[in-house]
Amino acid sequence: MTETLSREQLNTIMEEADLLKSQAEVDAALDSLAVQITERLSETMPVVYSIMNGGLVIAGQLLTRLNFPLEQGYMHATRYRGETSAQSDLQWQAPPSVPMEGRTVLIIDDIFDEGYTLEAVIEACKAQGAAEVLTAVLVNKQHDRKAPGVSVDFVGLEVEDRYVFGYGMDYRGYWRNAPGIYAVKGL
Ligand SMILES: O=P(O)(O)OC[C@H]1O[C@H](OP(=O)(O)OP(=O)(O)O)[C@H](O)[C@@H]1O
Ligand code: HPA
């Protein structure tokens, strides 16, 4: 584990960060995601899962833009666990909270980075009998280290290959609440 960060250090992280996407840009991306998801899923009575913790903010802001019947659930899978690079294993801290046998499932997460989290989540949903599994993320990080064969159905925004925080994404556990998408100085 890394050392504890002070309030001053965390404020400096924010002050020195680069704003990659403003709140207005995120709002527009969420509107666009909602239109695409509605077109594809409005007649399927899906179960919509947020992947905790990162998916919390984006799922909350997306759900109220979806005007059709759906159930909502959560699951918690984590690879990074407060670090800025992935740990070797994915840990399940909470399994899916709503049965998905025979259902259309939409997974909502904050970021598609290397893609191993979504790969494992999709696999888990299929193993639990989901009829189809679709995925939506606010941010796709652009690089060539993606898990082979994993793709996302609905992407809000593209960001460069830097460590980002805000809108649910954390910097060492903090700043998930930042109202924009920021890149940490030097990362
Ligand atoms: O595409 P990947 O490289 O697998 O990374 C993406 C995942 O990493 C983050 O979760 P994290 O493991 O940090 O857990 P958290 O949501 O609790 O922060 C993020 O919320 C995604 O779920
Ligand atoms: O760039 C990132 N920021 C926050 N969480 C993440 N999880 C994977 N990549 C990232």
Q: Closest ligand to 183 CA? A: 2
* Confidence at residue 149, expressed as pLDDT on a 0 to 100 scale: 93
| pLDDT reading at 65 higher than 90 | yes
Q: Which residues line ligand 2 (CB under 6 A)?
A: 80, 111, 113, 163-165, 169-170
> Quick one: pLDDT band at residue 13, thresholds 50, 70, 90?
very high
pLDDT digits (tens, 9 = 90+) for 142-181: 999 999 999 999 999 999 999 999 999 999 999 999 999 9
* Confidence at residue 2, expressed as pLDDT on a 0 to 100 scale: 60
Token duo for residue 48: 């919509």
State the complex-level ipTM. 0.97
Tell me how far apart the terminal alpha carbons of the chain are, to the nearest angstrom: 18
For residue 55, give the ligand 1 atom closest to its CA: 20
| Residue 128 burial (C-beta neighbours within 10 Å; 0-12, 13-18, 19+) | middle
**Mean pLDDT on 24-33:** 98
State in Å: Cα 80 to ligand 2 middle: 8
**Lowest mean pLDDT, pick from 28-32, 33-37, 51-55, 155-159:** 51-55
Fold of 7-183: Rossmann fold (3.40.50)
Amino acid at 117: T
For residue 114, give the ligand 1 atom closest to its CA: 3
pLDDT digits (tens, 9 = 90+) for 95-136: 777 889 999 999 999 999 999 999 999 998 998 999 999 999
Q: Whose CA is nearest to atom 20 of ligand 1?
A: 54
**Lowest mean pLDDT, pick from 45-49, 64-68, 81-85, 151-155:** 81-85
Average pLDDT of the chain to the nearest whole number? 93
State in Å: Cα 170 to ligand 1 middle: 9
Domain positions in the chain are: 7-183
